[in-house]
């Protein structure tokens, strides 16, 4: 099972050009959906306005070398999911993220470089697809069933799904159905592979087609926001704390007597 390229086996009934066209459409959906989300939410305008304000309010100049070092720190933090303080949440996020990236990368390689049985797929690429999807499912289901906000304590049903859950639900559905489809196909079943293939395509289309309405585009926003935060902290423009009290004021002199109406 872990040595079979499911897309090469599928080429016996579905032309490889059709599979490649579908993958290309999914990539275009992610790009166009992210751009649409940026325009709709005015995220780019917000970041550029914030950047100009930070530059105007800065108290020190940042050199090019320091800027590069801040960028390296931001990338390192993003790769390690350093924004999560909770260890379990960070591990679950890392499993899902790296598993998903390996799964997507292997899918693109297999569909475009080794789309038929005649083209021998390197075992490492096949293993990346299977193991990547499995790791992502482990991380995703761990988050969903054990780390997710305790909806029961809030008085909501345990399996209540809200708009914010669209990304993780469609991601888990896509990879789970993809694994089941590939397994039934490698097992030699004649009917079930087509059933799960149809479900797999539906879930995958929802995953990549719902970018403007899900948290998919957040993976692009968060590193940009983290980098901007580091820049503001380095140039002294980040002043979210209240100004210090007047040193000449005596203790308690700024307090007002309560008024009764």
HEC sequence for 37-86: HHHHHCHHHHHHHHHHHHHHHCCCCCCHHHHHHHHHHHHHHHHCCCCCCC
Total count of domains within the chain? 1
Q: Is residue 255 part of a domain?
A: no
**Residue found by looking up tokens 């993780």 in the block:** 168
Q: Is residue 99 part of a domain?
A: yes
Tell me which H or E stretch contains 174: helix 166-186
Q: Is residue 254 part of a domain?
A: no
Q: Are 32 and 210 in contact (CB under 8 A)?
A: no
Whole-angstrom distance, CA of residue 237 vs CA of residue 234: 8
Q: Is residue 87 part of a domain?
A: yes
Q: Is residue 239 part of a domain?
A: no
Q: What is the pLDDT of residue 145?
A: 86
Q: Is residue 53 part of a domain?
A: no
Q: Is residue 38 part of a domain?
A: yes
Q: Is residue 151 part of a domain?
A: yes
Q: What is the pLDDT of residue 246?
A: 46
Whole-angstrom distance, CA of residue 168 vs CA of residue 162: 11
Query: What is the domain range of residue 108?
Result: 6-48+64-234
CATH number at residue 19: 1.20.950
Going from the C-alpha of 194 to that of each of 9, 51, 190, 237, 248, the distances in angstroms are: 12, 51, 8, 57, 79
Q: List, run by run, the mean pLDDT of 10-residue segments along the chain (261 residues).
A: 87 94 95 81 66 71 79 75 75 92 96 91 95 96 81 64 83 96 91 95 95 74 71 68 45 45 39
Q: What is the pLDDT of residue 39?
A: 76
């Amino acid at each position: 099972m872990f040595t079979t390229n499911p897309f090469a086996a599928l080429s016996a009934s579905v032309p490889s050009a059709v599979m490649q066209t579908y993958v290309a459409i999914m990539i275009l959906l992610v790009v166009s959906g992210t751009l649409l989300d940026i325009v709709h939410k005015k995220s780019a305008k917000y970041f550029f306005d914030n950047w100009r304000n930070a530059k105007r309010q800065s108290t020190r100049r940042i050199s090019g070398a320091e800027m590069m070092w801040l960028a390296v720190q931001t990338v390192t933090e993003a790769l390690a999911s350093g924004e999560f303080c909770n260890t379990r949440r960070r591990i679950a996020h890392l499993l899902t993220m790296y598993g998903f990236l390996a799964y997507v990368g292997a899918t693109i390689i297999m569909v475009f470089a080794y789309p038929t049985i005649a083209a021998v797929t390197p075992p490492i690429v096949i293993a990346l697809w299977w193991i990547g999807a499995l790791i992502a499912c482990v991380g995703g289901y761990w988050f969903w069933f054990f780390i997710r906000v305790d909806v029961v304590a809030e008085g909501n049903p345990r399996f209540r799904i809200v708009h914010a859950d669209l990304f993780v639900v469609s991601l888990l559905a896509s990879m789970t159905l993809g694994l089941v489809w590939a397994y039934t196909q490698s097992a030699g079943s004649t009917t079930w592979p087509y059933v799960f293939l149809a479900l797999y395509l539906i879930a995958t289309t929802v995953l990549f087609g719902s970018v403007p309405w899900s948290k998919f585009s957040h993976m692009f926003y968060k590193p940009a926001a983290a980098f901007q935060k580091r820049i503001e902290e380095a140039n002294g423009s980040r002043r979210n704390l209240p100004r210090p009290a007047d040193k000449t004021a005596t203790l308690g002199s700024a307090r007002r007597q309560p008024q009764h109406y």
